[in-house]
Each structure stands twice: as C-alpha cells, then as structure tokens.
Amino acid sequence: MYSGGCLCGAVHFEIKGQISHIIHCHCSQCRKAQGSAFATNGIVNSCDFKILTGEDKLTAYESSPGQTKYFCQICGSPIISKTESKPDQLRIRLGTITSDIKERPMAHIFTTSKANWDEINGDLPQYESYEPGR
C-alpha cells in the first residue's frame, strides 16, 4: 500500500495496489504542468485509489479532450489525471507519494520535446513518443 498527498496537506490519498508503467514524460504539457524538465507518472487501477481527505479541495482541468488533470486548489500540487477512454485507470504523479515506491521507471517518453537545458542520463530506453505497447 502507498500513501501520499499534496504540498499543503489538504489532500491525502492511498493506493492499495501496484503502480505500473512508470515513465518520465518530457512532453511540453507535462513540463508545464509540473514546472520541471519532465513528469514522472505511473498507472494505478481506479479501484485501488482512494482520497482519504481533501476531495473537495481537488480542482479539475481538461488539458485535452477526454484528459482531465486533478490538482489541489490550495497549493497547486498535481495529484492524478484521468482519461475518459480508460475509466479503470488513473495516472498518478509519483512525486506526491510519501511511501517508498517498489516499482521503478521503465522509460523516458517524448524525448524530442525535452527541455533544451535538460540532459537525459542513465540506461532507461528513450522514445520519441509513447513507449511501445501503449
């Protein structure tokens, strides 16, 4: 089980299952949403994710048709995103998880959109768009 929350502490959640498909996304939307060089996201089953406190503090933003991002309206921490076509899955922002994470990132995606000041290091595969199989 994992626990996490936002920067100000208004939103707390738990995840009762595994985190899969952890990636570092370098697309321009993720960079803007995170205010950083990339976003590290993972997939969790919707039924395994529960908001413990602060659900009323989450604000939604439809960043593209069918894609909604949820963040704390007080501190702005991005928490999850939902895709209309995949209602059984949530994308979680790994930086909001306070527990030690067992699973590890599998790839860098949208590397052709990466910030020009960023350098990708390490042995993870790099893809110009989504990782194979998505």
CATH assignment of the domain containing 73: 2.170.150.70
Q: Is residue 134 part of a domain?
A: no
Note down pLDDT in tens along the chain; length 134 residues.
999 999 999 999 999 999 999 999 999 999 999 999 999 999 999 999 999 999 999 999 999 999 999 999 999 999 999 999 999 999 999 999 999 999 999 999 999 999 999 999 999 999 999 988 87
Q: Is residue 23 part of a domain?
A: yes
Phi/psi at 73 (nearest 5 deg)? -75, -15
CA distance readout (Å), 15 to 63, 101, 111, 133: 24, 11, 29, 24
Bridge partner residues of 127 (DSSP): none
Bridge partner residues of 89 (DSSP): 45
Q: Is residue 72 part of a domain?
A: yes
Q: Is residue 105 part of a domain?
A: yes
Give the pTM: 0.91
Q: Is residue 121 part of a domain?
A: no
Q: Is residue 120 part of a domain?
A: no
Q: Which domain holds residue 26?
A: 2-113
Please tell me the total count of domains within the chain.
1
CA distance readout (Å), 34 to 18, 46, 95, 98: 23, 22, 10, 17
Q: Are 134 and 21 in contact (CB under 8 A)?
A: yes
